[in-house]
Structure 1
Amino acid sequence: MTESAYLHATRTAYDTVAADYAELLRHELDTKPFDRAMLAAFAEHVQGPDAGEVADLGCGPGRITAHLRSLGVNVFGVDLSPKMVEVARETHPDLRFEEGSMTALDLADGSLSGAVAWYSTVHTPPELLPTVFAEIHRVLAPGGHLLIAFKVGDERRHLSQGYGHELSLDVYWTPPEHVADLLSKAGLVLDAQLIREPDESERPRSGPQAFFLAHRPHA
């Protein structure tokens, strides 16, 4: 799939489901202690007197953005879907949300202390993942940190329905060793990884979940 085709399909799908997606996942983090632990670890890395901004890339309705702000992170959200951005702004009027694509971020080189890609690469065709990771490397300042969450596996599924709506959307499961290799090739250093088994809300449609914490090294 070409970059423009995948972006169009993803944007259309999430514009369609935005309101219902936000409601269904509003309290999802409450039952996921391992997920919260990785977010807390990331938050510790991107705080401090000299810390800059952190971008929640593919922020959807802003639930992870808001959670990071509650941990003291200077964070804003970016999402491909205008409807998701609209919902995020309505739900969290005290936070900043912008439209944008992870394949071509409208951010200056080295402008971020951190970036989060919380399941936001799961719709990216494998051949375009290097582009996404190269963009993240570009916008991170030296010493800046990345937290990425993704589905563990090696397959593609096409969804024709989701969150109570008809849609057309590809979802990718990715081997952790492949993600680690791509991060390294993009110039990012892997610091920690957590792979957990699916919880009750994820079975049986999904398997293990992965969380990687990495950083852009100083030159």
Structure 2
Amino acid sequence: MTFDAVRAAYGARAAEYIEAVGQIEHVPDADREAILRWATGVRGRVLDVGSGPGQWTDYLRRHGVAIEGVEPVPEFLSAARRLYPDSRFHEGRAESLPVADGSLGGVLAWYSLIHTDPASLHSLLDEFARVIAPGGSLFVGFFTGAALQPFDHAVTTAYYWPVELLSERIESAGFTVQEVRARFDPTSAPEPGKRPEAIIVATRDRG
């Protein structure tokens, strides 16, 4: 899927998405706690890349995190600014972020890479490496599996990534993986109605 096709697919279902999963109350407690713990430990500004309707940006801002959102889908951007007027959101793409080199303490990429063609993922990770200061942190949430393969996501085609393979890609972009956690065993069938999910936390190399 091209970037424009993914953006159009989300735009067409933006209201449905927000109603179903686009509010912080939809997030499991364990995820909220994990991301809040990570974000409050970041030194410097955080960028929520693919901020969607803004729930994570606003939630973390209300907990004292210096965070702003970046979102390419106009319908999400409009909703975020309407729903969370005290938070800041910018139009932008993950592979071309509107911030200076090394200006961020961290990047949150919460399921914002799942539709990226694997052959193009390096451009996003290189951009994250550009904007995160040495010693800064990257937090990635994604769907995992035993093999790299596409699947029929509710909105448009997404990809399962083996944890080891995505970790290698992240490290090749200039990071050191510090934490990996899979919420389901990718070698077994997931719970009904759920897909295998995982997180990776990595630190920007200082060298």
Which gives a bigger RCO, structure 1 or 2 (Cα 8 Å, sep 6+)? 1
Q: What does 1:56-205 correspond to in 2, within 5 Å?
A: 56-153=48-145, 154-158=148-152, 162=154, 169-197=156-184, 203-205=191-193
Q: Normalising by structure 1, report the TM-score.
A: 0.85
CA offsets 1:154-207 (integer angstroms, 9 cap, x no match)? 321245xx4xxxx6x211111110110011100111111211129xxx843443
SS, match of residue 194 in structure 1: strand
CA RMSD of aligned residues (A): 1.8
SS, match of residue 133 in structure 1: helix
Letter in 1 for 2:172: K
Q: Cα–Cα, structure 1 residues 39 and 105, in superposed 2: closer, same or farther, change >3 Å?
A: same
Q: How far apart, CA to CA, are the structure 1 residues paired with 2:180 and 2:11?
A: 32
Q: Normalising by structure 2, report the TM-score.
A: 0.89
Letter in 2 for 1:151: F
Q: How far apart, CA to CA, are the structure 1 residues paired with 2:195 and 2:152?
A: 16
Q: How far apart, CA to CA, are the structure 2 residues paired with 1:23 and 1:101?
A: 24
> Could you tell me whether the CA contact under 8 Å between 2:114 and 2:159 is conserved in 1?
yes
Q: How far apart, CA to CA, are the structure 2 residues paired with 1:174 and 1:62?
A: 25
Structure 1 residue 44 corresponds to structure 2 residue 40: yes
Letter in 2 for 1:35: D
> Could you tell me whether the CA contact under 8 Å between 1:38 and 1:211 is conserved in 2?
no
Structure 1 residue 18 corresponds to structure 2 residue 18: no
Match in the other structure for 1:211: 199
Q: What's the offset of the Cα at 1:109? A: 0.6
Q: How far apart, CA to CA, are the structure 1 residues paired with 2:174 and 2:52?
A: 27
Match in the other structure for 1:28: 26
Which sections of structure 1, spanning at least 5 residues, go unmatched? none
SS, match of residue 218 in structure 1: coil
Q: What's the offset of the Cα at 1:72? A: 1.5
Number of aligned residues: 199
SS, match of residue 157 in structure 2: strand
